[in-house]
C-alpha cells in the first residue's frame, strides 16, 4: 500500500491528525495495535482546553461535545483549611470544558467512515523503516499476514510505549525525565459530583482530586505510594480517604457508589527532543508525558497535532520543507511551558516523602500568596486554560 502519511497509533493524537489531514485532502492511513473497544475502555483525561475544543469545532465533530461537555469557569485549590477559587473566566475571559477523553475518542472514531479516514485496528508488530530518508515505510501484520505501507512522512502518535520514538537513534536525541514517588489511584462512579467545579486538595494525608465526567458521573483521585496495589483499595476505603482529604465541606456532599473503574497511574514528567527526525514526526505522549495535575496531557497531544497538521499541509500543498523542519521547535516551546506548569502544580499540591518542614512551609507560603494575589491567580488560570498555540 502507498499513502502520503502513515500515522502510528489511533489514540486522540492519531485520530485527530488523521481527520485534519483528510480534511485537507492529504492521504493517510492510521495503524493501531489494539481493537476499537480496548481503545475506548481506557479511562483517562477529563478536561479540555479551548485549543482542543477548537480543533473538534474545525472538523465539525463537536456536536456532542457542545451538547454534553460541561463548561467550567473556575476550579479550586484546597489546603486543609481554605478553598482558593481560581476564577478562570474572570481572569482570562476563557473557560475549560469537562468532556472525557473516551467520549472525544468515540466522536473521532465514529466519524472515520463518513470522512474516509482509514484506521487499521489490531495491526501487530508495527515497525518503522528508513525514517532518515525521503522514502520511509512501515511494516506490520494483520491476521498474521505481513503488510507494508510506503509513505512520505510517518507520524508517531503511539503513546509512551510505542515503537516510533524508539526508531530515533539515541545519539541524536535528549531525554529529560522526572519521576515522582507516588501514583494517582482513580475511581469512576455513577454518582453526582460533590462540587460543581474541580477541587485539587493538599491534605496532610496526601493529595485528592474531585473531578467529574458529567452531572451524573464522578471521577476522583487520591495519591498513593507506588508500592500500593488496586486490590488493597476496596471502594469504601477510597471513599473514606477522599472524605478526609477533600475536607468537611466537600465530604458533606460526596455521594458514594460502586466503582465502574479503578486504577493506579504513576506520575512522570518526560520530554524527548527533538520531536522530529528525518521523515518522522512525534506527537502527543509519544514525545512527552506530564503528571496529570495540570490536566495537560491530552491537550498537549492536540496542540502538537495542530502544529503537525499545519506543517504537513504546507509541505504537501506547497512543497515547503521548512515547515516540517520547524515542527519540533514550535511544538516543544509549548510542551516545555506545560511541563513547567504540571510539575509546579504537582510540587505545590502533593506531600513528597522526602519533604521536611522547610518544603512544607514553602507550600503554605505559596498557597497563601496565591490566595491573596490576583497576579498569582491569573498566572495559574492562564496556564490551566491553555497557553496560545
Ligand atoms: P495514547 O492515548 O496513549 O494513544 C496512543 C495509541 O497508540 C497505540 N499504540 C500502538 N499502535 C500501533 N502499534 C504499536 N506498537 C502501538 N503502541 C501503542 C495505543 O494502543 C494507543 O491507542 O496517546 P496520545 O494519542 O498521544 O494521547 C495522549 C493522552 O492519552 C494522554 O496524554 C492523557 O490521557 C493524559 N491525561 C490527561 N490529559 C489531559 O489533557 N487532561 C486530563 O485531565 C488528563 N488526565 C491523563 C489524565 C492520563 C492519565 N493516565 C492514565 C496516564 C488522567 C490519567 C489518570
Ligand atoms: C479527570 O477528570 O480525569 C482529571 C481532571 C483534572 C486533572 C486530571 C484528571 O488534572
Q: Is 72 a catalytic residue?
A: yes
Mean pLDDT of 37-59: 93
Closest residue (by CA) to atom 4 of ligand 2? Answer: 46
Task: Give percent of the chain with pLDDT exceeding 90.
Answer: 97
Which residues lie closer than 8 Å to 217 by C-beta, 6 or more apart?
Answer: 188, 189, 190, 191
Give the number of the atom of ligand 1 that is nearest the alpha carbon of residue 46.
Answer: 43
Reported as a single tens digit per residue, the pLDDT across 366-385 is 999 999 999 999 999 999 99
211 lines ligand 2 (CB under 6 A): yes
pLDDT digits (tens, 9 = 90+) for 168-214: 999 999 999 999 999 999 999 999 999 999 999 999 999 999 999 99
Between the CA of 242 and the centroid of ligand 2 the distance, in Å, is 15
Q: Give me the sheet containing 145-150, strands edge to edge.
A: 124-129, 137-142, 145-150
CATH topology of domain 5-44+101-176+269-345: FAD/NAD(P)-binding domain (3.50.50)
List the residue whose alpha carbon is closest to atom 5 of ligand 2: 46
DSSP class per residue in 295-324: S-HHHHHHHHHHHHHHHHHHHHHH--HHHH
**Which atom number of ligand 1 is nearest to the Cα of residue 42?**
51
Write down the pLDDT at residue 289.
98
Model pTM greater than 0.85? yes
Q: Give the pLDDT band (50/70/90) at residue 80.
A: confident
- Whether 221 sits among the annotated catalytic residues: the reply is no
Cβ pair 68, 158 in contact under 8 A: no
CA 126–ligand 2 middle distance (angstroms): 31
State residue 41's pLDDT score.
87
For 261-290, write each residue's pLDDT tens digit: 999 999 999 999 999 999 999 999 999 999
Q: Which residues pair with 219 in a beta bridge?
A: 188, 211
Amino acid at each position: 500500500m502507498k499513502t502520503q502519511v502513515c500515522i502510528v497509533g489511533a489514540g486522540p493524537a492519531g485520530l485527530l491528525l488523521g481527520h485534519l489531514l483528510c480534511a485537507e485532502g492529504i492521504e493517510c492511513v492510521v495503524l493501531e495495535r489494539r481493537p476499537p473497544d480496548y481503545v475506548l475502555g481506557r479511562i483517562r483525561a477529563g478536561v479540555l482546553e479551548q485549543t482542543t475544543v477548537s480543533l473538534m469545532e474545525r472538523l465539525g465533530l463537536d456536536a456532542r461535545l457542545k451538547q454534553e461537555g460541561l463548561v467550567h469557569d473556575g476550579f479550586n485549590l484546597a489546603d486543609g483549611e481554605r478553598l482558593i477559587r481560581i476564577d478562570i473566566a474572570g481572569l482570562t475571559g476563557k473557560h475549560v470544558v469537562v468532556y472525557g477523553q473516551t467520549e472525544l475518542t468515540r466522536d473521532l472514531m465514529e466519524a472515520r467512515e463518513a470522512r474516509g479516514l482509514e484506521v487499521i485496528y489490531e495491526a501487530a508488530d508495527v515497525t518503522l523503516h528508513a525514517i532518515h530518508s525521503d522514502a520511509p515505510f512501515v511494516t506490520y501484520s494483520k491476521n498474521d499476514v505481513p503488510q507494508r505501507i510506503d509513505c512520505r512522512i510517518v507520524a508517531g502518535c503511539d503513546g509512551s510505549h510505542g515503537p516510533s520514538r524508539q526508531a530515533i537513534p539515541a545519539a541524536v536525541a535528549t531525554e529529560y525525565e522526572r519521576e515522582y514517588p507516588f501514583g494517582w489511584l482513580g475511581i469512576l462512579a455513577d454518582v453526582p459530583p460533590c462540587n460543581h467545579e474541580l477541587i485539587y486538595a493538599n491534605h496532610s494525608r496526601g493529595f485528592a482530586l474531585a473531578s467529574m465526567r458529567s452531572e451524573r458521573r464522578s471521577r476522583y483521585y487520591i495519591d498513593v505510594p507506588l508500592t500500593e496495589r488496586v486490590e488493597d483499595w476496596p471502594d469504601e476505603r477510597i471513599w473514606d480517604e477522599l472524605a478526609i482529604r477533600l475536607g468537611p465541606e466537600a465530604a458533606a456532599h460526596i455521594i458514594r457508589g460502586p466503582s465502574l473503574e479503578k486504577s493506579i497511574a504513576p506520575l512522570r514528567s518526560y520530554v524527548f527532543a527533538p520531536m522530529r527526525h528525518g521523515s518522522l514526526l512525534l506527537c502527543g505522549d509519544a514525545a512527552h508525558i506530564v503528571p496529570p495535575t495540570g490536566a495537560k496531557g491530552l491537550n498537549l497531544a492536540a496542540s502538537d497535532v495542530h502544529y503537525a497538521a499545519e506543517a504537513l499541509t504546507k509541505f504537501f500543498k506547497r512543497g515547503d520543507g521548512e515547515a516540517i523542519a520547524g515542527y519540533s521547535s514550535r511544538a516543544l516551546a509549548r510542551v516545555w511551558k506545560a511541563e513547567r506548569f504540571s510539575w509546579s502544580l504537582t510540587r505545590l499540591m502533593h506531600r513528597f516523602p522526602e519533604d521536611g518542614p522547610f518544603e512544607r512551609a514553602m507550600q503554605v507560603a505559596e498557597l497563601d500568596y496565591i490566595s491573596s494575589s490576583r497576579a498569582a491567580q491569573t498566572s495559574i488560570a492562564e496556564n490551566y486554560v491553555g497557553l496560545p498555540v
